[in-house]
Structure 1
Amino acid sequence: MRILKVSEAVSIKRSVDAGTEEQRQTVKAIIEDVRKNGDTALFSYTEKFDRATLTSMQVSEEEIREAYEETGAEYVAIIKEAAENIRSFHEKQVRNSWLTTEANGTILGQKVTPLDSVGVYVPGGTAAYPSSVLMNVMPAKVAGVERIVMVSPPGANGKLPAAVVVAAQEAGVKEIFKVGGAQAVAALAYGTEAIQPVDKIVGPGNIYVALAKREVFGDVDIDMIAGPSEIAVLADDTARASEVAADLLSQAEHDERACCVLVTTSQELAEQVSEEVVRQLETLPRKAIAEQSIADYGAIYVADTLEEAIATINTLAPEHLEVMTANPMELLGQIKHAGAIFIGRYSSEPVGDYFAGPNHVLPTNGTARFSSPLNVDDFQKKSSIISYSEKALQQNVEKIAAFARLEGLEAHARAVESRFK
Structure 2
Amino acid sequence: MEIKSLQSGLSLKRTVDGGTDAQREAVRKILQDVAAEGDRALIRYTEKFDQVALSSLKVTKEEIEESLERLPEGMIKIMEEAAGNIRSYHEKQKQNSWVDLAASGTMLGQKRTPLDSVGIYVPGGTAAYPSSVLMNAIPAHVAGVERIVMVSPPGKDGKLPASVLAAASIAGVTDIYKVGGAQAIGALAYGTETIAKVDKITGPGNIYVALAKREVYGDVDIDMIAGPSEIAVLADETADARYVAADLLSQAEHDARACSVLVTTSRELAEQVKAEVEMQLESLPRKEIAASAWEEFGGIYVAETMEEAVAAINELSPEHLEIQTKDAMNVTGAIKHAGAIFIGAYSSEPVGDYFAGPNHVLPTNGTARFSSPLNVDDFQKKTSLIMYSKEDMERNAAKIAAFARLEGLEAHARAVEARLKEESE
Q: What band does the TM-score fall into relative to the shorter chain?
A: over 0.9
Q: Which amino acid aligns with 1:54?
A: L
Q: CA RMSD in A?
A: 0.9
Give me the whole-angstrom Cα distance separating, in 2, the residues matched to 1:124 and 1:28. Answer: 22
1:13 CA displacement: 5.9
Write the deviation string for residues 126-169 of structure 1: whole angstroms up to 9, x where unpaired.
00000000000011000000000000000000000100000000
Query: Structure 2 matches for 1:10-409, cutoff 5 A?
Result: 10=10, 12=12, 14-409=14-409
Measure, in 1, the Cα distance between the counterparts of 2:2 and 2:106: 63
Identity %: 70
Match of 1:412 in 2: 412
User: In the TM superposition, what is the alpha-carbon distance from 1:10 to its structure 2 partner?
Assistant: 2.7
Moved more, 332-341 or 64-73: 64-73
Aligned length: 421
What is the CA–CA distance in structure 1 between the aligned matches of 2:19 and 2:128, rounded to whole Å?
Answer: 25
Q: Deviations over 1:315-371 (max 9, x none)?
A: 111000000011211222111110000000000000000000000000001111111
Aligned partners of 1:117, 1:59: CA distance in 2, in Å?
18
Structure 1 distance, partners of 2:375, 2:397, is 40
1: CA distance, partners of 2:325 / 2:94: 33
- The more displaced of 65-74 and 7-16 is 7-16
Separation in 2, partners of 1:19, 1:312: 29
Bigger mean CA offset, 81-90 vs 21-30: 21-30
Superposition misfits of 4+ residues, deviation over 3 angstroms: none
- Using the alignment, how far apart are the partners of 1:149 and 1:82 within structure 2? 21
Shifted more, 119-128 versus 36-45: the winner is: 36-45
Gaps of 5+ in 1: none
Contact 2:319/2:362 (<8 A) preserved: yes
**TM-score, scaled to structure 2:** 0.98
- Match of 1:401, SS state, is helix
SS in 1 for 2:261: strand
Higher mean alpha-carbon deviation, 109-118 vs 63-72, is at 63-72
1:9 CA drift (Å)? 3.4
- Give the Cα–Cα distance (whole angstroms) in 1 for the partners of residues 335 and 326 of structure 2: 16
- Counterparts of 2:140 and 2:2 in 1: how far apart (Å)? 42
Structure 2 CA distance, aligned partners of 1:329 and 1:115? 37
- Mapped partners of 1:14, 1:169: distance in 2: 36
- CA offset at residue 11 of structure 1? 5.1
Structure 2 CA distance for aligned equivalents of residues 2 and 100 of structure 1: 59
Q: Which amino acid aligns with 1:219?
A: D
Residue 71 of structure 1: how far off its partner (Å): 1.4
Q: In the aligned structure 2, how far is the partner of 1:387 from the partner of 1:324? A: 52
Any conservation in 2 of the 1:229–1:319 contact (CA below 8 Å)? yes
* Aligned residue type for 2:413: A
State the TM-score, normalizing by the size of structure 1: 0.99
